[in-house]
Amino acid sequence: MASNDPLLQPYKLKHLTIKNRIMTTSHEPAYPEDGMPKDRYRAYHEERAKAGVGMTMTAGSAAVSRDSPPVFNNVLAYKDEVVPWMKKVTDACHEHGCAVMIQLTHLGRRTGWNKGDWLPAVAPSHHREASHRAFPKQMEDWDILRIIEDYADAAERMKAAGLDGIELEAYGHLMDQFWSPRTNTLDGEYGGSLENRMRFSLNVLEAIRKRVGDKFIVGIRYTADEADKDGISAAEGIEISKRLQRSGMVDFLNVIRGHIDTDPGLTDVIPVQGMKSAPHLDFAGEVKKVTGMPTFHAARIPDVATARYAVAEGLLDMVGMTRAHMADPHIVRKIMAGREDDIRPCVGATYCLDRIYQGGDALCIHNAATGRELTMPHDIPLADKKRKIVIVGAGPAGLEAARVSAERGHDVIVFEAAPEPGGQIRLSAQSQRRAEMISIIDWRMAQCAARDVEFRFNTWAEAADIEVENPDVVIIATGGLPHTEVLKNGNELVVSSWDIIAGDVKPGQDVLVYDDAGDHAGLQAAEVIANTGAKVEIMTPDRSFAPDVMAMNLVPYMRSMQEKDVTFTVTYRLKDVVRDGNRLRAKIGTDYSDLIKEKNYDQIVVNHGTIPMDEIYFDLKPASVNLGELDHKAFINGQPQSIAANADGKFQLFRIGDAVAARNTHAAIYDALRLAKDL
């Protein structure tokens, strides 16, 4: 029976029928190899296509020119060899009825010069972009003509690869660098009036149309309001939208609101957790209304209800659920099966996007199979043999192990000392801004409940409690405890970041937060203290503070703390703490010299990762078949664990997550998935 769900209605774009209204907007996960979308890339898109997404906009900022070197391992659309690789991606997705397009761009000043072919970045002005820092060459006439042709060449390659269409990127990149008075200081026919500032993009469209014809789908993803003074205003953006429509060369508009030349700007365009959902949806709807053009949009529409509303209300024709699909590639399949409650929620952690700006690949904080489709399953297959699996610890690692083991069909018991599940995640979620993190736990608890996993809360498990269960496998996922023993003297005088976040210790009035772990806990504790009106100094021995928090995640912390009494001190190492009356005197050194200085505070908070809670592991080790040993080769290659060093052993014993060594949520969940999928 045909569904009447607005999200599941087909959409006709020119000659192309897209089977439903859900798309993934262009997002470069930085999976290319040598700039080419090879097997990993294809498997990633194919997984979403198989599960029913209507359209996938592949790549993200695929480069049309050699002087647009990748900022995060983008597809090199300026090479002919891209054609067969893109064809494979396209064919694989088409096989499942998923429409496929690609985003093409020239990054202009939004890149660096010291990579690729070492050509200078180019832009219609000398103005540097704050995020990427290149001082661009101001473009000459021959740069303009060359790049127009590059766009047309790249479009032709994509048509040859069998794609359904292309999208040109015009927010923060070369096209809108021409549009915006902030970034265009050219004289002559490409600078000055709006007509002149739009000339470059219209010339590009003309060149593309000449090559690919009128039938091939060509759209544009563009900022229709830079939301910044001196930038493109909403009124001018609407005028740009109308001119694009009137040009007759554009088949769809994919609306962006904002500017991305700074980390805070980028974060307003792509909001992270704790920020408003769907903040630009109404604006996109307005553009659709005034232009009558097919309109797409994505910006934190993480849930099906909001997506459905966007389409039902006629605000959008295609709704982008991009990070939502990184968290769960099977969204459409689950909607169709009436299983929306099973969708693994995107919690807006933006670990995915922050990683690519640090040179990594995009990974989801709580779906370790995303981007690893060649080795990690999104659907867990049943095991050949049912086993009894006992897990100690109900944090992210323990719960992922429980979920995966239960999906394998095993009998699963989870012991947890605390009254509630969650471990460190529960702590992170204490801050209102990070409250969504708890969905990582809630989703797993619901999945476990549906598969009859037995939980024993408020139970401090001893080795004997485990052995009496006669398990086949024991997994220790007990996590860690804050490690504050970093000083020569005075360890007993400091408190941990967790003490502050959990509310176990009242914040002082004049506080040093010494953070040499560089993760969220340090900044989160500092924010809790600063919120009380206290004076806070955040100190690190590193060159920059909180490196593991990364660009977009740093934004809400800075917005919250910069307006309070908070200072940042880098390159200093806390050595000793002594009592000085009712204050604490800190002895502060540096790795760069023998310099020592002293400063008084009334509280010192240390953030130095965790130390594993591994007692039960070592108690159980002698009774295990494998003596706790993990066969790394099998673990990495996706084979079952078969070490049997102890003939008298009664069960296999493994340890995962921070119970092994302090890492992060993704590492804990990946440990659990990798191990449990082969049990």
Ligand X SMILES: Cc1cc2nc3c(=O)[nH]c(=O)nc-3n(C[C@H](O)[C@H](O)[C@H](O)COP(=O)(O)O)c2cc1C
Q: Which of 648, 649, 643, 667 has the alpha carbon at shortest distance from 657?
A: 667
Q: Which of 660, 611, 624, 629 has the alpha carbon at shortest distance from 477?
A: 660
Q: Determine the longest span between alpha carbons in the chain, in angstroms.
A: 85
CA distance 246 to 238: 12
CA distance 126 to 109: 9
Contact 23, 55 (CB under 8 A): yes
Size of the site for ligand X (CB under 6 A): 24
Find which of ligand SF4, ligand X, none residue 86 binds, CB within 5 to 8 Å per kind: none
Residue closer to ligand SF4 by CB (options 274, 547) is 274
CA distance 241 to 235: 10
| By CB under 6 A, residue 266 contacts ligand X | no
Nearest-CB residue for ligand X = 60
Binding mask 47-76 for ligand X (x = CB under 6 A): -------------xx---------------
Read off the tokens for 246: 């009137």
Provide the 8-state DSSP code for 106. -
Helix (H, G, I), strand (E, B) or coil at 312: helix
CB of 673 to ligand SF4, least distance (A): 14
| By CB under 6 A, residue 301 contacts ligand X | yes
Residue closer to ligand SF4 by CB (options 431, 540) is 431
| By CB under 6 A, residue 356 contacts ligand X | yes
Residue closer to ligand SF4 by CB (options 163, 552) is 552
Give the DSSP H/E element, type plus range, for residue 391: strand 388-392
| By CB under 6 A, residue 607 contacts ligand X | no
Give the DSSP H/E element, type plus range, for residue 578: strand 573-580
Beta-bridge mates of residue 653:
474
Among 321, 440, 473, 552, the residue binding ligand X under the rule CB under 6 A is: 321
Beta-bridge mates of residue 220:
168, 253
CB of 72 to ligand X, least distance (A): 7
CA distance 644 to 624: 9
Residue listed under structure tokens 């996706």? 638
| By CB under 6 A, residue 436 contacts ligand X | no
Instruction: Give whole-number Cα distances, 61 to 131, 167, 204, 498, in Å.
Output: 16, 10, 16, 40
| By CB under 6 A, residue 319 contacts ligand X | no
Q: Which range touches ligand X (CB under 6 A), out of 108-116, 141-149, 348-356, 631-639?
A: 348-356
CB of 363 to ligand SF4, least distance (A): 7
Find which of ligand X, ligand SF4, none residue 176 binds, CB within 5 to 8 Å per kind: none
Find which of ligand X, ligand SF4, none residue 347 binds, CB within 5 to 8 Å per kind: ligand SF4
Residue closer to ligand X by CB (options 58, 607) is 58
Instruction: Give whole-number Cα distances, 244 to 95, 102, 294, 298, 310, in Å.
Output: 33, 19, 12, 20, 23
CB of 581 to ligand X, least distance (A): 51
Instruction: Give whole-number Cα distances, 569 to 306, 515, 538, 548, in Å.
Output: 42, 10, 6, 17
Read off the tokens for 259: 């500017």
Contact 512, 601 (CB under 8 A): yes
CB of 347 to ligand SF4, least distance (A): 4
Read off the tokens for 118: 């070492």
CB of 103 to ligand X, least distance (A): 6
CB of 329 to ligand X, least distance (A): 13
CA distance 257 to 253: 12
CB of 454 to ligand X, least distance (A): 36
Contact 64, 147 (CB under 8 A): yes
Residue closer to ligand X by CB (options 61, 447) is 61
Among 11, 21, 25, 343, the residue binding ligand X under the rule CB under 6 A is: 25
Helix (H, G, I), strand (E, B) or coil at 581: coil
| By CB under 6 A, residue 362 contacts ligand X | yes
CB of 234 to ligand X, least distance (A): 19
By CB under 6 A, the residues from 92 to 111 that bind ligand X are: 103
| By CB under 6 A, residue 21 contacts ligand X | no
Find which of ligand SF4, ligand X, none residue 60 binds, CB within 5 to 8 Å per kind: ligand X
Phi, psi torsion values for 582, nearest 5 degrees: -100, 20
CB of 273 to ligand SF4, least distance (A): 7
| By CB under 6 A, residue 323 contacts ligand X | yes
Residue closer to ligand X by CB (options 26, 180) is 26
CB of 573 to ligand X, least distance (A): 35
| By CB under 6 A, residue 221 contacts ligand X | yes
CA distance 627 to 629: 6
List residues near ligand SF4 by CB under 6 A.
323, 326-327, 346-352, 364-366
Find which of ligand X, ligand SF4, none residue 351 binds, CB within 5 to 8 Å per kind: ligand SF4
Point out which residues bind ligand X (CB under 6 A): 25-29, 60-61, 103, 169, 221, 270, 298-301, 320-324, 352-353, 356, 362
